[in-house]
Amino acid sequence: MSRARVVVVGAGPAGMMAAAQAARLGCAVLLVDEAPRPGGQIHRQPSPSLAGGAVSAAARPEAERKRRLFERFARHAGSIDHRPGTSVTAVYGLDRILIADETSSQLIRADALVVATGLHERVVPVPGWTLPGVVTAGALQALLKGGRVRAGDRIAVAGAGPLPLVAAAQMVEAGATVPVVALLRPLWLGLLRDPAALWAGRGVLSEGWRWLSVLRRAGVPVLTRHVALSVSGDGAAERLVIARHDGRGRPVPGTEQRFAADTIAFNHGFTANSDLARMAGAETRFDPRRGGWLPVRDSDGATSVPGLFVAGDAGGLAGGLAAACDGAVVGAAAAGWALHRDAGRFAAQAATDRAERARHWTFQAALAPSWELPPDIHALVTPATVVCRCEGVTRARIDRAIADGHDGLNGLKRNTRAGMGSCGGRSCLRTLAALAGPRGEGEAVNARPGIRPVALAALANRVSDESMGS
């Protein structure tokens, strides 16, 4: 008889720990990630072919956490079938999960499925944001960590939450000049009112302090309560215009400032990669601060679909440390389900991780207000601004569709083609939802097969499929 199998999607901190835990508890584990190496967003590693490279990744404060995570994973790696460079592109049910690499595809089955797919960045569009040279703050990091490349020489950064600040400091350490970091809100206000959160997050805060010191030493102005108004340049980004805002996101007249830059990076928070869980039928709820449409899950990560679990940031932004603990908790629950149809069976095995996760969650809850966008910020998206860059759909086109009564996200998509391009709506759906108002945010867009791009040759080359109970 074959062993009960746990399939884990995503080899970030959450997926690595879920896989290690389920393997430790006796399950056969398949760990699938589209990246060439494990680590996820936070511990992204260069491709094995990039041993050296022009610029080294500035990952020093993360090094110790990374070492501990990889050490724990390595203890069970021998019992984990890790498939790098492989994506899960559809979930029709736990007995039919479609995975694909560059050359082949396969339908696999799971006794328990853990979705640990993390999140992606959110950007509020401004005039000029589609010019070459405009990137996300996370892309600055991905190029540095994954490709050993610095995106530019003079890099202006704007947005919300801590990522713009961290990415800017990493660029300074990599040798770039940063003319400004413009943040919508101060980062620490929520924390100062909450001593328990300050204590719980002291380790992360000391890292944050270090990044702030890097910026201070380099003389980088960090401006809070500032909003990006536009990017301009002759065929490519050359300058960023920002202004103080009135608390609601509207610029205060006379406070505009221009900063010359060859690269401009934005980050206005994150959107959870919840599409696989939604395709499998999991209920969702909308949480604007923690990642938009989030699968509803209990403290074991169990969703409304029996056997389907969500771990880490795919269930809502909580950071890499919480994701690793959450992965260990969810891995134990998934193993309990796969082996005994009882998610609580191994709860005691994950008690330490559960307690540590609670501490990280306390800290993250206090940090969450820094991601809250001022209520009028989308008033800055002018009628001519492109909202969906894949399909070239402007705000004016979207406003017309809303005026015609298409204010649900799926209706807007069908009527304007926004969100139908090659990125699958990753860069525009949150803006569309915000423009459409409560109905837009209340209705998650339908998740369809083909969540990640797959080569037709890979689909045509189906290797032997597995059926339930094999």
Ligand X SMILES: Cc1cc2nc3c(=O)[nH]c(=O)nc-3n(C[C@H](O)[C@H](O)[C@H](O)COP(=O)(O)OP(=O)(O)OC[C@H]3O[C@@H](n4cnc5c(N)ncnc54)[C@H](O)[C@@H]3O)c2cc1C
Binding site for ligand X (CB under 6 A): 9-15, 32-35, 40-42, 87-88, 116-121, 138, 141, 163, 166, 270, 273, 276, 312-314, 319-320, 323, 451-452
Region of residue 133 (phi > 0: left; psi between -120 and 50: alpha; otherwise: beta): left
Distance CA 241, CA 246 (A): 16
Instruction: Answer left, alpha or beta for residue 34, where phi above 0 means left and psi between -120 and 50 means alpha.
Output: alpha
CB nearer ligand X, residue 15 or residue 133: 15
Closer residue to ligand X in complex, CB, 127/138: 138
CA atoms of 141 and 120, how far apart (whole Å): 13
Residue 408 beta carbon to ligand X: minimum distance, rounded to whole angstroms? 25
C-beta closer to ligand X: residue 208 or 411:
208
Closest CA to 309 of 355, 343, 347, 354: 343
Q: Least distance in Å: CB of 325 to ligand X? A: 11
- For the bound state, the minimum distance from the C-beta of residue 170 to ligand X, rounded and expressed in Å, comes to 7
What's the count of helices (H) and strands (E) in the chain, helices before strands? 15, 22
- Work out how close the CB of 168 gets to ligand X at its nearest, in angstroms, rounded to a whole number: 11
CB of 287 to ligand X, least distance (A): 15
Q: Where do the DSSP E strands lie in 94-213?
A: 96-100, 105-108, 112-115, 119-121, 134-136, 155-159, 181-183
Least distance to ligand X, CB of residue 78, Å: 21
Minimal distance, residue 383 CB to ligand X, in Å:
30
Residues 6+ apart with CB under 8 A from 280: 91, 93, 94, 113, 115, 303, 305, 308
Q: How far is the CB of 413 from ligand X (least distance, A)?
A: 20
d(CA 115, CA 434) in angstroms, rounded, equals 26
142/296 with CB nearer ligand X: 142
Residue number, 13 or 46, with CB nearest to ligand X? 13
Q: Which structure tokens are listed for 193?
A: 């009112």
Nearer to ligand X, 398 or 458 (CB): 458
Q: How far apart are CA 420 and CA 441, in angstroms?
A: 18
Residue 59 vs 398, nearer CB to ligand X: 59
**Residue 448, amino acid:** R
CA–CA distance, 185 with 193 (Å, rounded to integer): 15
CA distance 425 to 390: 9
Q: Shortest gap between Cβ of 58 and ligand X (angstroms)?
A: 10
| Residues 6 or more apart in contact with residue 98 via CB below 8 angstroms | 88, 89, 90, 91, 92, 105, 106, 107, 449
Of 378 and 452, CB closest to ligand X: 452
CA neighbor of 339 nearest in space, from 17, 23, 91, 9: 23
- Nearer Cβ to ligand X, position 33 or 441? 33
